[in-house]
């Protein structure tokens, strides 16, 4: 998954077998959907770009594509799994902004509406188009592992795939897990903690994969319409019924920029957001009040 992963379980003699099965499931999904593997399904789909026959996919992939289609519609086209190709123009380790011409050359290959998806066949009509499952398959994997653990008898535990969390169940005494939320402007520090005993937790922000050029921060979340990093929110954390739902809500909010906080509030999401100016709010914010990151000491489960 390209990031630190951890599974914490309370259990007995069956725990080693559960751990092995969980690790195998994560490896299966990475092998299937990683764009970095030559033998993955994602690579096979991308290599078919320009071929009118496309690729026939299995039921699991069809579910993920249907989910991407739903998120695309709900986000007014901002959540777009064809936009990963824009990373070719953005090397965040270089400290260099791309030329507009580099971005303009890639934008014609971006657009969920341009592809043809009718289960079980996906067609990328333009040579060079790509699908990138990386924006949501890690959250899906966290949910899959949590469910696998429950099916095998585990009742208390937590799945952490690179900071995307799925709760197997609370601690044996019924106490929730305490989940730290990073301060986006001081990522080594916790902005606060969330007590979470169910569902999933995910965060998105402009602080881990970013670069600062001439005093301006450029994050890794790119607007598929312009090809440029979004501005407005520094980070978003959501608690939802599933990690997949939490993760896509955080990404959609970030993509909406200045409108993201209001959109999250209107959606009824259990959220905490931090604006670029340091203001904090959301239903999970302490006492529901907007506060600066420095003023926020703790975050309650609230709503």
**In CATH, which of 1.20.1440.130, 3.30.465.10, 1.10.3980.10, 3.40.220.10 is domain 36-131?**
1.10.3980.10
pLDDT band at 12; cut points 50, 70, 90 = confident
> Above 70 in pLDDT, residue 302?
no
- Is the pLDDT at 204 greater than 90? The verdict is yes
- How far from the centroid of its chain's Cα atoms is residue 68's Cα? 12
The order of strands in the sheet holding 233-240 is 5-9, 157-161, 164-169, 200-205, 233-240, 270-275, 279-281, 291-292
User: Is the pLDDT higher at 5 or at 11?
Assistant: 5
- Rounded CA separation 206/216 (Å): 11
Is pLDDT larger for residue 214 or for residue 285?
Answer: 214
Report phi then psi at 163, rounded to 5: 95, -5
Q: Could you tell me if 258 and 232 are in contact, meaning their C-beta atoms sit under 8 angstroms apart?
A: yes
**Cβ-contact 170, 271 below 8 angstroms:** no
Closest CA to 239 of 89, 139, 98, 150: 139
Q: What is the pLDDT confidence band of residue 287, given thresholds at 50, 70 and 90?
A: very low
The pLDDT of residue 303 is 28
SS3 content of the chain, % helix, strand, coil (to 5): 35, 25, 40
Of 197, 203, 192, nearest to 236 by C-alpha is: 203
| Mean pLDDT along residues 42-66 | 98
pLDDT at residue 299, rounded to an integer: 33
Average pLDDT for residues 269-278, to the nearest whole number? 93
| pLDDT for residue 19 | 96
Residues 196-221 have a mean pLDDT of 94
Confidence class for position 260, pLDDT limits 50, 70, 90: very high
Dihedral of alpha carbons 51, 53, 57, 62, sign: positive
Percent of the chain with pLDDT strictly greater than 90: 87
Domain segments of the chain: what residues?
A: 36-131, 176-292
Q: Which CATH architecture has domain 176-292?
A: Roll (3.10)
Joined tokens for residue 279 = 């203001």
| pLDDT level of residue 187 (50, 70, 90 thresholds) | confident
pLDDT 10s digits, 146-182: 999 999 999 999 999 999 999 999 999 999 999 999 9
Which of 169-173, 244-248, 266-270, 298-302 is predicted least confidently? 298-302
Please indicate whether the domains covering 36-131 and 176-292 agree at the CATH topology level.
no
Q: How many residues does the chain have?
A: 303
Mean pLDDT of the chain, nearest integer: 92
Q: Mean pLDDT throughout 104-112?
A: 98
| Mean per-residue pLDDT, 128-155 | 96
User: What integer pLDDT is reported at residue 301 of this predicted model?
Assistant: 33
β-strand partners of 186: 183
What band does 138 get if pLDDT is binned at 50, 70 and 90?
Answer: very high
The closest of 6, 45, 59, 209 to 123, measured between CA atoms, is 45
Phi, psi of 187 (to 5 degrees): -60, -15
Q: What angle do CA 268, 159, 10 make, to 5 degrees?
A: 120
Report pTM.
Answer: 0.92
Q: What is the 3-state secondary structure (H, E, C) of 48-107?
A: CCCCCCCEECCHHHHHHHHHHHHHHHHCCCCCCCCHHHHHHCCCCCCCCCCCHHHHHHHH
User: Are 197 and 168 within 8 A, CB to CB?
Assistant: no
pLDDT beyond 80 at 288: no
Predicted confidence (pLDDT) at residue 243 exceeds the cutoff of 50: yes
Average pLDDT over residues 29-41: 96
Asked if the model's pLDDT at residue 296 lies above 50, the reply is no
Q: What is the pLDDT of residue 188?
A: 85
Q: Do residues 253 and 233 lie in contact, with contact meaning Cβ atoms separated by under 8 Å?
A: yes
Q: Is 19 helix (H, G, I), strand (E, B) or coil?
A: helix
In contact, 201 and 243? CB cutoff 8 Å:
yes
């Amino acid at each position: 998954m390209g990031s630190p992963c951890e599974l914490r379980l309370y259990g007995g003699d069956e725990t080693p077998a559960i751990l092995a099965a969980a690790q195998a499931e994560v490896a299966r999904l990475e092998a299937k959907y990683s764009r970095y593997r030559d033998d993955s399904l994602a690579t096979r789909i991308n290599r078919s770009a320009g071929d009118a026959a496309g690729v026939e996919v299995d039921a699991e992939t069809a579910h993920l594509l249907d989910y991407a289609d739903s998120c695309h519609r709900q986000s007014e086209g901002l959540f777009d799994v064809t936009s990963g190709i824009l990373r070719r123009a953005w090397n965040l380790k270089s400290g260099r902004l791309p030329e507009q011409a580099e971005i303009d050359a890639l934008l014609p290959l971006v657009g969920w509406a341009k592809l043809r998806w009718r289960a079980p066949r996906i067609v990328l009509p333009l040579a060079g188009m790509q699908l990138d499952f990386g924006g949501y398959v890690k959250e899906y994997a966290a949910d899959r592992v949590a469910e696998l653990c429950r099916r095998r008898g585990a009742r208390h535990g937590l799945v952490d795939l690179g900071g995307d969390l799925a709760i197997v169940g609370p601690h044996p005494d019924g106490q929730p897990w305490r989940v730290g939320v990073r301060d986006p402007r001081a990522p080594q520090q916790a902005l606060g903690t969330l007590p979470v005993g169910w569902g999933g937790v995910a965060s998105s922000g402009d602080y881990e994969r970013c670069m600062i050029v001439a005093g301006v921060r450029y994050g890794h979340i790119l607007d598929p319409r312009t090809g440029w990093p979004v501005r407005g929110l520094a980070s978003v954390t959501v608690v939802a019924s599933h990690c997949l739902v939490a993760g896509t809500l955080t990404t959609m909010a970030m993509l909406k920029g200045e409108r993201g906080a209001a959109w999250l509030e209107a959606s009824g999401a259990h959220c905490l957001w931090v604006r670029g100016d340091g203001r904090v709010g959301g239903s999970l914010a302490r006492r529901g009040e907007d506060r600066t990151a420095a003023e926020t000491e703790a975050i309650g489960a609230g709503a």
